[in-house]
Amino acid sequence: MNRSCTQCSVQFEIDQRDQDFYDRNSLPKPTFCPDCRRQRRSALRNERHLYNRHCDLCEVAVISVFPKDSEFIVYCYDCWWSDKWDVMDYAREYNFSKSFFEQFSELDKAIPHIALFQDGSSENCEYVNFGVENKNCYLALCAYCEDVYYSYGAIKSKSCVDCTKVLSCELCYECVDCMKCYNLAFSQDCLNCNDSYFLKDCMACTNCFSSVGLRNSEYVFMNEQLSEEEYKRRLNDIRFNHDSIREWLKKLNDLSLTIPKKFMHVIASEDVTGDYVENSKNLKDCFDGLALEGSAYCDLAGFNSRDLYDCTNVGMGSECCYEMNGVTASNNSKFLYYCREINDTQYSQHCYFSSDLFGCFGLRRKQYCVFNKQYSKEEYEKLVAKIIESMRESKEYGEYFPVSISPFAYNETLSCEYFPLTKEETLDRGYKWRDIEEKAINSKLPSCEDCGRNYKMIAQELKFYKAKDFPVPKKCPDCRHRARFLQRNSRKLWDRKCDNCGLGIRSTYSPDQPEIVYCEKCYLKELY
């Protein structure tokens, strides 16, 4: 069955597998295409825009995702989790004469928000958002990391700077999608590589430089095998400065265009479509999935989860969930944002260790609540059934929280990275926009060569650059992040053919990209 997206008008398919999921969960068919659904979910998520402000309860200075002129009430971590206030005091009756989303937006604005999304076990990580059990990290989105700066999606890594999507890495710099690497720099899509520079799509390599597609190699320079003495001689002749780094990156890119790429990045998985999938099976159009099963249209989901549809940043044993963002260890739930251990719950945000909630915000260890009001089991079930029926009539049920009620401006959110809009386009859609404050140029601080804004450097990163003999960056952290982001293909699939055998494949490499793209069989034959 084909449908036309009510937002972008593109045609999208609802196949039998999709229909079975919707029927099994009593869901109406989606009105948005998968991309527009991703865009809508991500518009609730401000990951990297941080501001100085004060807690509205204790008045202590804090770092927050909410600027000081935000219309939302904001509490610091300690106050939000304290017993100084009771979120149940904000309970209200459901009003059937008003739309659900209008009422939820009113509740959202009335209840205090937490200043920054991170757990309480991190140490010296005041500038880390969406962090879990980190130590001494700065301006990074990371988990279980130590001494990681200016990085995004770092997990179980140490002493890494300016990296994106690195797992179990140490002493890495400007690396993207690398795993179990040590002392690696300016590299992408590498596994178990050590003491190397400028690598792409390499595995189990040591002491290699500016090379692509290597396996179990050592002392290779621009894909040429050298003796140990010759390799060290060439390496000693190289000086890392901004001009030489740009030159070597260009040489690496030129070399990469001559060597075939596998149509998708997949490890130990079967029956999957998408990209960057590991230890998973039976997935449809999923990206950055790990230990995920029987799911579709998901991003950054998994960790022993299954039966997820349209979920972003969802995992840790979650099952049978739909249209959720930032949720862990939850089951049989729909339309949630940033919740932990939530079951049998719909249309709720920032709720923890609870079940059987509908339209709630900020609840902890509660059951049978609607709009934060407590009901008996029988009252709850009767009221929720009536609300869902009313929402079906108004065409609200089945839709995620609209972008227009997000607490953040569109250009502060993850959506703007994957689905950029101009200010005019944003405002025309009824979304919020925040103008970036123009800061006077401070001659004592470096200014970004791309955007012109001043930026600061911390002592830890300067020590890192000195130890590695790298030049200090000429771009601000935002522009460096953007440059790494653009190294990855978009989360979009194209139908194309293997450039060797002609087999039909679906890949994030579009047919008009210059890369040579092979199906798995041809790729393995070529490299092994």
Per the CB < 8 A criterion, the answer to whether 128 and 139 are in contact is yes
Instruction: Provide φ and ψ at 445, rounded to 5°.
Output: -115, 150
Rounded distance between C-alpha atoms, residue 295 and residue 301, angstroms: 9
Percent of the chain with pLDDT over 70: 99
> Is residue 173 domain-shared with residue 103, that is, in the same domain?
no
Confidence band, pLDDT 50/70/90 cuts, at residue 526: confident
Asked whether residue 81 carries a pLDDT value surpassing 90, the answer given is: yes
Total domains present in the chain? 3
Judge if 84 and 169 occupy the same domain.
no
Q: What is the DSSP letter of 115?
A: S
Q: Where does a domain end: 242, 262, 282?
A: 262
- C-alpha 254/C-alpha 229 separation (Å) is 26
Mind listing the pLDDT tens digit for each residue in 259-284?
999 999 999 999 999 999 999 999 99
Residue 174 CA to residue 181 CA, distance in Å, equals 12
Q: pLDDT value at position 443?
A: 75
H helix intervals, 275-319: none
- pLDDT tens string 6-30: 999 999 999 999 999 999 999 999 9
Element (H, E) at 206: strand 206-212
C-alpha closest to that of 369 among 394, 339, 346: 346
End-to-end CA distance of the chain: 41
The answer to whether position 60 is within a domain reads yes
* Confidence band for 118, pLDDT divided at 50, 70 and 90: confident
Whether 440 shows a pLDDT value over 60: the answer reads no
Q: What is the pLDDT of residue 441?
A: 66
Instruction: Summarize pLDDT for 229-247 with one digit per residue, the tens.
Output: 999 999 999 999 999 999 9
Tell me which residue has tokens 């029956």. Answer: 271
> What local confidence, expressed as pLDDT, does residue 436 receive?
78
Could you list the beta-strand ranges (E) of 65-205.
Answer: 74-75, 113-114, 141-143, 146-149, 152-155, 158-161, 164-167, 173-179, 182-191, 194-203
pLDDT over 90 (residue 528):
no
Token readout for 270 is 């079967």
What pLDDT sits at residue 258? Answer: 97
Residues 173 and 230 in one domain: yes
Domain range holding 189?
163-262
Q: Is the pLDDT score of 438 beyond 90?
A: no
Among 262, 280, 310, residue at a domain's last position: 262
Mean pLDDT computed over every residue of the chain: 96
Q: Is the pLDDT of residue 336 over 90?
A: yes
Domain end residue (candidates: 213, 235, 262): 262
**Do residues 175 and 483 lie in contact, with contact meaning Cβ atoms separated by under 8 Å?**
no
Which residues on adjacent β-strands are paired with residue 246?
none
Model confidence at 439, pLDDT cuts 50, 70, 90, reads low
Among 23, 30, 24, 29, smallest CA distance to 7 is for 30
